[in-house]
């Protein structure tokens, strides 16, 4: 919905002050009697135009001071979706190839990035954050609704950027931190790893307990053979979620498709107002008329 308005409508009171001053603040000159007034008929004819011109200049100056604006209200419909924190293993073991049977030369990490990007682009109604972990964890992107930007963030992630080991506990804690600003009814973490917890300062159990206290579900995905399936299933079940195993890229696609089919919650969108400031136009017109007024004054036309 669009509308025209003023930021400072009270500024129009100045115009009434100006009009009052025109009447009450006139300079009272002495009356001089002069014969043959017809000689001044040219100047007398300009007097009404001079007054109109001054009134117009004052009006447009006040109009500009009132700051006219054009407001375009944008209130997107409520979206249904999750607030999701994608917690992805980027340890050294993710560099192994053979996970994609159709292209065995591609590393496991690159295969996972491809599937995750497809998942992100499907989740149009979700806010998503990106977290990667190795020896330590880091937030590659906070919660955002911009899916194209998230895809670009994934593209620039390098394997083993956070180290070669697997700090699953640190990854979960960082993923929880990424959801601190969430106002969604349903908040989830999708943890993907191909290894066992062997680094970091936070235990997996402690991280899982913190997630549970914050009503965050942890969906776990174990890729490959060397995983702690019991641990992954335990933290998923304790948070009220589900654990998945994916031994190849085809199975991983199926896992993300299953997650994509979960019931959605409600995310409320804020109302945005886009303002276009228009004060420049009446101000320009006022100055143009003012210059014209001075031009006529110098020509002794008024």
What pLDDT tens digit does each residue of the chain (302 aa) get? Answer: 678 888 899 999 998 888 888 878 766 655 655 555 555 555 545 556 778 888 899 999 999 999 999 887 655 555 666 899 999 999 998 988 878 777 678 889 999 999 999 999 888 878 999 999 999 999 999 999 888 889 888 988 887 688 899 999 999 999 999 998 888 888 999 999 999 999 999 999 999 999 999 999 999 999 978 899 999 999 999 999 999 999 888 999 999 988 888 756 566 556 656 678 888 999 999 999 999 888 887 776 55
Query: Which homologous superfamily does the CATH classification assign to the domain defined by 79-267?
Result: von Willebrand factor, type A domain (3.40.50.410)
What pLDDT, on the 0 to 100 scale, is given for residue 196? 93
What pLDDT, on the 0 to 100 scale, is given for residue 124? 80
The predicted model scores a pTM of 0.64
Q: Of 235, 211, 210, which is closest to residue 221 (Cα–Cα)? A: 235
Instruction: Tell me the DSSP string of the chain.
Output: -EEEEES-GGGGHHHHHHHHHHHHS---PPP---S-GGGGHHHHHHHHHHHHHHHHHHHHHHHHHT-EEEEEEE-PPPEE--EEEEEEE-SGGGG-B-SSTT-TTSBHHHHHHHHHHHHHHH-TT-EEEEEEESSSEEEEEEEES-HHHHHHHHHT--TTTT-SS--HHHHHHHHHHTTTT---S-EEEEEEESS----SSS-HHHHHHHHHHTTEEEEEEEESSS--HHHHHHHHHHTT--EEEESSHHHHHHHHHHHHTS---EEPPPPEEEEEE-THHHHHHHHHHHHHHHHHHHTT--
Domains of the chain, residue spans = 2-73+272-298, 79-267
Distances 203 to 90, 133, 265, 272 between C-alpha atoms, Å: 18, 14, 30, 42
């Amino acid at each position: 919905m669009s509308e025209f308005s003023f930021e400072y409508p009270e500024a129009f009171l100045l115009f009434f002050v100006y009009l009052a001053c025109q009447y009450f603040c006139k300079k009272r000159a002495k009356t001089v009697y002069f014969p043959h007034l017809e000689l001044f008929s040219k100047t007398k004819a300009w007097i009404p135009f001079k007054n109109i011109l001054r009134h117009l200049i004052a009006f447009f100056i006040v109009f500009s001071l009132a700051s006219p604006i054009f407001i375009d209200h944008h209130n997107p419909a409520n979206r249904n979706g999750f607030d999701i924190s994608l917690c992805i293993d980027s340890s050294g073991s993710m560099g192994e190839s053979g996970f994609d049977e159709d292209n065995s030369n591609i590393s496991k990490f690159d295969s996972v990035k491809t599937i995750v990007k497809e998942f992100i682009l499907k989740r149009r109604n979700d806010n998503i954050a990106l977290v990667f972990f190795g020896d330590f964890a880091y937030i590659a992107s906070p919660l955002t609704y911009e899916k194209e930007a998230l895809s670009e963030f994934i593209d620039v992630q390098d394997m083993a950027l956070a180290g070669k080991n697997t700090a699953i506990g640190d990854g979960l804690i960082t993923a929880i931190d990424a959801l601190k600003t969430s106002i969604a009814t349903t908040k989830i973490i999708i943890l993907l790893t191909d290894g066992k917890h062997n680094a970091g300062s936070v235990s997996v159990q402690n991280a899982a307990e913190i997630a549970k206290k914050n009503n965050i579900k942890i969906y776990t995905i174990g890729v490959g053979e060397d995983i702690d399936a019991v641990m992954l299933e335990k933290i998923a079940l304790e948070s009220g979620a589900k654990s998945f195993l994916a031994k190849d890229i085809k199975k991983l696609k199926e896992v993300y498709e299953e997650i994509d089919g979960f019931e959605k919650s409600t995310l409320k969108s804020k109302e945005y107002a886009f303002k276009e400031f228009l004060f420049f136009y009446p101000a320009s017109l006022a100055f143009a008329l003012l210059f014209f007024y001075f031009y006529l004054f110098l020509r002794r036309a008024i």
